């Protein structure tokens, strides 16, 4: 039979949903090889709601509405998706020419960029209430002309006492774009813009570490959120989630280390490569370093994590739950030092990978094992903090201006 290429004609809404699914695999340095990404995301959403690993700089939450407001000012009858993309490419050029161009989405691809900033940030705009209609980007494009007719006569809400009879497309107090935008655009928020975004965080992300640090922190933030002193000055409900994230991140860090050790052992036993023998020693050393840190902690009880999953409305898959509980149970009974030589945990990891990947699991597929790079999925869960940290730095630079 000849191979066939089938094109599925997706609607804009379908495409938005597919993109959301694909984003779950984007965070680097996580344990997705063992299917724990869903738990990482539950904690990420509780700590930093609405954020994504695709978010690079904060002023994009203003750039995107400004672009669409510009198109709205032209009236109806335009190909909105085309015009928005054209203006976003102009924005890329302007940001590339600015003094601070770190985090420009499409910095090198320019007009060839496949993931536009508006797509990456749209759900965040909805979460923050900046896109007041609360629908996805495809829906907005489809209903653009009808929305213009419906809301075309809305005044700007500069007066806090204005009583609205119709809901605007964008937040009524969204600051105006600078003259000539997107020409001359940069990532520096004005004081007015920073105050607006701060208000969105406080109102739409209440009780989260994101809202707390938006209000209380400064432009100087620690590399890890658990090393940031202000994290632990937050109300108890926030610090409880922060501690759960910190503790879980350390507790399961040993799992991908053991997984890579297992792969190195399997490949060395079949191929005898000196590099794999060196990797075995490296992973045994890294597991010893991890075990020393884990042993200094109180035993980890997954029950609090399952409770958070339920509160957040997440989905706890039974195999995922069993894997974590067996991992925790072994460490609590035998100690973290016993992990490196445990045949039971090696079998647990084998079974977990085979359940997730079937015949493509590296532990059973020789071709996939030979293609192993030597290091995969290793690192502590950081719950989007590198991205969130930059957003908060941008915010506080604006507040301090």
pLDDT in tens, the chain (401 residues): 444 444 444 444 444 444 444 443 434 444 589 999 999 999 999 999 999 999 999 999 999 999 999 999 999 899 999 999 999 999 999 999 999 999 999 999 998 999 999 999 999 999 999 999 999 999 999 999 998 887 655 454 454 444 444 567 999 999 999 999 999 999 999 999 999 999 999 999 999 999 999 999 999 999 999 999 999 999 999 999 999 999 999 999 999 999 999 999 999 999 888 999 999 999 999 999 999 999 999 999 999 999 999 999 999 999 999 999 999 999 999 999 999 999 999 999 999 999 999 999 999 999 999 999 999 999 999 999 999 999 999 999 999 98
Determine the Cα–Cα distance for residues 194 and 57; give it in Å rounded to an integer. 13
311 found inside a domain:
yes
State the pLDDT at residue 167: 60
| Residue recorded with tokens 């203003």 | 62
- Do 396 and 347 lie in one domain? The reply is no
Do the domain assignments include residue 22?
no
* 107 neighbors 143 (Cβ within 8 angstroms): no
Distance, CA of 203 to CA of 198 (rounded, Å): 9
Residue 124: how many other CB atoms lie within 10 Å: 22
- Asked, for residue 248, whether it belongs to a domain, the answer is no
User: Domain range spanning residue 127?
Assistant: 60-152+167-226+385-400
Q: Could you tell me if 205 and 303 lie in one domain?
A: no
Q: Do both 137 and 214 map to the same domain?
A: yes
Q: Are residues 355 and 394 in the same domain?
A: no
- 3 state SS of 223: coil
Beta bridge partners of 131: 170
Same domain, 171 and 288: no
Contact 348, 326 (CB under 8 A): yes
Domain count, the chain: 2
pLDDT (0 to 100) of residue 220: 96
| C-alpha pair distances (Å), 103 with each of 98, 108, 122, 186, 340 | 12, 11, 17, 11, 39
Q: Do 218 and 341 have their domain in common?
A: no
| Contact criterion met (CB below 8 Å) for 100 and 187 | yes
Pair (391, 316) in one structural domain? no
Can you list the alpha helix ranges (DSSP code H) found in 54-143? 60-73, 80-96, 117-127, 137-142
CA distance linking residue 395 with residue 200, whole number of Å: 12
CB atoms within 10 A of CB 29: 13
- What does the buried/exposed string (b/e) look like for 242-280 if buried means 16 or more CB atoms within 10 Å of the residue's CB? bebbbbbbbbbbbbbbbbbbbbbbbbbeeeeeeebeebb
* Nearest Cα residue to 36 out of 303, 353, 293, 361: 353
* Co-location of 83 and 176 in the same domain: yes
Residue 237 lies in a domain: no
Same domain, 76 and 193: yes
Q: Is the C-alpha dihedral spanning 101, 23, 87, 63 positive or negative?
A: negative
Structure tokens at 205: 């992300």
């Amino acid at each position: 039979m000849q191979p066939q290429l089938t094109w599925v004609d997706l609607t804009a809404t379908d495409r938005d949903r597919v993109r959301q699914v694909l984003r779950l695999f984007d965070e680097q340095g996580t344990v997705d090889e063992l299917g724990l990404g869903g738990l990482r995301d539950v904690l990420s959403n509780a700590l930093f709601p609405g954020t994504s690993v695709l978010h690079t700089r904060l002023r994009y939450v203003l750039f995107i509405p400004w672009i669409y407001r510009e198109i709205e000012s032209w009236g109806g009858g335009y190909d909105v998706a085309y015009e928005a993309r054209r203006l976003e490419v102009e924005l890329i050029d302007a940001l590339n020419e600015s003094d601070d161009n770190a985090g420009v989405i499409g910095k090198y691809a320019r007009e060839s960029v496949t993931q536009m900033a508006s797509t990456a940030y749209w759900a965040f705009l909805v979460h923050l209430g900046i896109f007041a209609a609360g629908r996805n980007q495809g829906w907005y494009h489809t209903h653009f002309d009808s929305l213009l007719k419906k809301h075309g006569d809305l005044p700007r809400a500069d007066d806090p006492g204005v009583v609205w009879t119709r809901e605007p497309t964008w937040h009524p107090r969204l600051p105006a774009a600078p003259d000539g935008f997107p020409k001359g655009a940069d990532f520096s928020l004005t004081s007015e813009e920073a105050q607006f975004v701060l208000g969105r965080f406080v109102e739409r992300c209440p009780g989260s570490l994101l809202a707390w640090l938006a209000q209380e922190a400064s432009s100087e933030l620690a590399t890890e959120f658990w090393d940031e002193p202000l994290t632990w000055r937050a109300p108890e409900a926030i610090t409880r989630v922060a501690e759960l994230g910190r503790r879980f991140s350390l507790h399961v860090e040993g799992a991908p280390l053991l997984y890579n050790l297992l792969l190195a052992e399997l490949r060395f036993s079949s191929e005898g490569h000196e590099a794999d023998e060196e990797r075995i020693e490296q992973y045994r050393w890294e597991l010893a370093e991890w075990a020393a840190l884990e042993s200094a902690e109180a035993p980890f009880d997954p029950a609090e994590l399952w409770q958070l999953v339920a509160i957040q409305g997440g989905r706890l898959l039974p195999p995922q739950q069993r894997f974590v509980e067996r991992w925790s149970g072994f460490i609590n009974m035998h100690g973290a030092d016993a992990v490196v030589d445990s045949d039971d945990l090696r079998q647990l990891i084998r079974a977990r990978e085979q359940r997730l990947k079937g015949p493509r699991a590296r532990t059973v597929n020789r071709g996939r094992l030979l293609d192993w790079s030597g290091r995969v999925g290793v690192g502590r869960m950081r719950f989007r903090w590198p991205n969130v940290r930059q957003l908060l730095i941008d915010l506080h630079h604006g507040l301090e201006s």
